[in-house]
Chain A
Amino acid sequence: MNWFYFASPPTFYRLAGWLAPWFFVVAAVLGAAGVYIGLVEAPTDAQQGEVYRVIFIHVPAAWMSMFLYFVMACYGGVSLTFNTRLAAMMARAIAPTGAMFTFVALWTGSFWGRPTWGTYWVWDARLTSELVLLFLYFGFMALASAFEDPRRGDRASALLALIGLVNLPIIYFSVLWWNTLHQGSSVSFKGTSMHVAMLTGMLLMAFSFWMYSIGTALVRVRAVILERERRSHWVRALAART
């Protein structure tokens, strides 16, 4: 199989258009199951009561915020190394969804923090490093669109994304490195102490967010391709048909 065939914008445009609806359908099914298990099936927490149910949104959103940044930086690295147009377009397409999930993680975290810690916000290492991640996403998007020549914007923003990678281990290990108000991880590769229904609901939501992110990235990259390739014959022909 020739993978470079799919690196061509016209080919990828068609492929993304075909794939995106399927990812949205899977995301909706998994999301509905996750919300049902999270709000109905999962038992009430012995210490936090009902408010712990914020985890079914908060934890998957926080995971996605870091994972999407990593994927975005990888695309940035590929675009810098191989000078590929599509990799840079994918990095641009991922950034807004990553920023959205970072915002959701911070927002839901503060609405979980108020009843459990007694405050919406504290300058704790985990919260602060997650806020820095949101600023990194904003910086990436601002830098990518700050240049008249989009290729220069691609290079500058890719560099920022790669430098910002250093923040990911800081977020992940912040609860171990510093004495934080934020609790440590309840789920790790070694296992979990959570009830099986809680874990199932959380994983379903995480997969739902993942599928949604792929769907939105594919839809957005199609718009980016249209913007960037608008003077090419194939885009003109395509626009004339729609």
Chain B
Amino acid sequence: MNHAFYLWMSYGATALAVLAEIVALRARRARALRLIEEERDLEAQD
């Protein structure tokens, strides 16, 4: 098989892994902020 396949599978997978981690980081922060808001709203209702 062409060597380009092995190279691009390596570089491409690394780029994807980095991208996935950044997306997951943003999602985790958004989830944490949403949780704080939900708890505050629940306490306000009580």
Contact = CB atoms under 8 A, between A and B. Distances in A.
Interface string B16-40: 0110011011001100110111011
Nearest to A51: B3
Interface residues of B, number: 25
A22 to B, nearest CB: 16
Contact of A112 (B6, B35, B36): B6
Contacts of B10: 54, 57-58, 107-108, 111-112
- The binding surface of chain B is classed by DSSP as helix
A50 B11 CA distance: 13
B35 A227 contact: yes
B24 to A, nearest CB: 8
A72 to B, nearest CB: 16
A155 interface: no
A96 B36 contact: no
Contacts of A58: 10
Contacts of B18: 100, 212
A223 B21 CA distance: 14
Interface pairs A-B: 7 shortest CB-CB: A226-B32, A108-B10, A239-B36, A51-B3, A223-B28, A111-B6, A223-B29
Given A50-B3, A107-B13, A239-B33, 7 more contacts: A51-B3, A61-B14, A111-B7, A114-B1, A216-B21, A226-B29, A239-B37
